[in-house]
Amino acid sequence: MKREPKRGLTFAAGNHSYRLDGKPVPGVTTIIGVLDKPAIPKWAAEQVARHVAENPAAIEALRSLGVDGMVAALKSVPWKRRDDAADRGATFHDFADRLVRGEEIVLDADDPQNALVDSALDFIEQWHIEPILTETAVGSRTHWYAGTLDLAAHYRRPDTGEVGVGIFDWKSGKRIYTQACYQLNAYGHAEFYGLGGDEHELPRFDAAFGVQVRADGFDVHEVRYGPEVHDEFLCIRRTFDIHKRAEGDWRQPGSGYVGRAIQAGEAA
Domain with residue 191: its CATH number is 3.90.320
pLDDT average, residue stretch 228-247: 96
Q: Give the span between the Cα atoms of 93 and 126, in whole angstroms.
A: 19
Does residue 17 form part of some domain?
A: yes
Indicate the pLDDT class of residue 190, thresholds 50, 70 and 90. very high
Residue 130 pLDDT > 90, yes or no?
yes
In this structure, of 140-144, 150-154, 173-177, 229-233, the range with the lowest mean pLDDT score is: 173-177
Residue 87 pLDDT > 80, yes or no?
no
Question: Domain range spanning residue 221?
Answer: 9-32+113-247
Domain count, the chain: 1
**How confident is the model over 202-228, as pLDDT tens digits?**
999 999 999 999 999 999 999 999 999
Residue 268 pLDDT > 60, yes or no?
no
Does residue 108 form part of some domain?
A: no
Question: What pLDDT does 37 receive?
Answer: 76
Question: What pLDDT does 217 receive?
Answer: 94
Does residue 61 form part of some domain?
A: no
Does residue 131 form part of some domain?
A: yes
Question: What pLDDT does 250 receive?
Answer: 87
Between these two residues, 39 and 260, which has the higher pLDDT value?
Answer: 260
Does residue 15 form part of some domain?
A: yes
The string over 4-41, giving b where at least 16 C-beta atoms fall within 10 Å of a residue's C-beta and e elsewhere, is eeeebbbbeeeeeebbbeeeebbbbebbbeeeeeeeee
CA dist list (Å): 97 to 87, 117, 188: 15, 11, 18
Does residue 64 form part of some domain?
A: no
Residue 3 pLDDT > 70, yes or no?
no
**How confident is the model over 52-62, as pLDDT tens digits?**
898 888 888 88
Does residue 50 form part of some domain?
A: no
Does residue 206 form part of some domain?
A: yes
pLDDT average, residue stretch 83-93: 75
Residue 49 pLDDT > 90, yes or no?
no
Q: Give the span between the Cα atoms of 176 and 180, in whole angstroms.
A: 7
